[in-house]
Amino acid sequence: ITASGIPTLVSANMPTGSVISVHTADFTGTATHSSSSWADIPNLTLTFTPASATSKIYITGHVMVGTEFDTMCGIRIIAAGNNISTIGDTAGNRTKAHTGLGYWNIQNNYEILAVPINAVHTLSSASSTIVKLQAINGDTSGHAFGINKSAANDPDATWQGRFASNLTVMEIAG
C-alpha cells in the first residue's frame, strides 16, 4: 500500500468519541486567594476554536490548594461564558462550586492538597471558546488559601513544597 492509498483523516470525519484536539495550561507560580468573590486562577485559561459545533469538551486537571484556618476553597469551571459547575444542592446560601475543599477549621497552615477537575461540556458553536478555572473563598473571614503553596506559613525549607496546577481541555468528536 502506498501513502497515496491511505485516506486522510480530518476532524470532521473522525468517529464519535475521537479526540480531535488537546489544549493545556499550567500555572507554576504561586497565588494567595482571600476574596469571597469569584476570580480567575492565574494562567488556567485556555482559548481555542473547536472543529465543530457538535463537539464535546472533556475538561480535566487539578489545582493545588494550601489550606488555612477559616477558609473554604471553591473551584468552578467557566466554558464559553457559562458556569458549568452549578451541580449539587442549590438550596440556601451554600457556595456552589464544581469542586474544592469544604470549610477548613483546623490550624494546619502547611497542608497542600490536590483539588481535581473533571467535567464534560457540550459545545453549541464552533466559535472561539474560552475555558477557565476560577476560585472563591466561601468564608468572609479575610483569611486566605494558597495556590501551589501552603497558605499562611510558607517557609523556604526542604520539607516544604512548591507545586503546579493544570487545566487540560480535549475536544471530542460528537
Q: What are 14-23's pLDDT values in tens digits? A: 888 999 999 9
Q: What is the mean pLDDT of residues 65-79?
A: 85
Is 85's pLDDT higher than 80? no
Lowest mean pLDDT among 88-102, 129-143, 159-173: 88-102
Please measure the distance between the N-terminal and C-terminal CA atoms of the chain and give it in whole angstroms: 31
Task: Kindly report whether the global pTM for this prediction surpasses the value 0.75.
Answer: yes
- Contacts with 71 (C-beta within 8 Å, 6 or more apart), sequence order: 34, 103, 104, 137, 138, 139, 141, 143, 144, 145, 151
Using pLDDT thresholds of 50, 70 and 90, give the confidence band for residue 59. Answer: very high
pLDDT of 14 reads 80
Is 169's pLDDT higher than 90? yes
Most confident of 67-71, 103-107, 136-140: 136-140
Please name which of 99, 105, 90 lies closest in space to residue 135, comparing C-alpha atoms: 99
pLDDT of 7 reads 59
Lowest mean pLDDT among 44-58, 84-98, 120-134: 84-98
- Contacts with 158 (C-beta within 8 Å, 6 or more apart), sequence order: none
pLDDT of 2 reads 56
Alpha carbons 34 and 135: distance in angstroms, whole number:
10
Residue length of the chain: 174
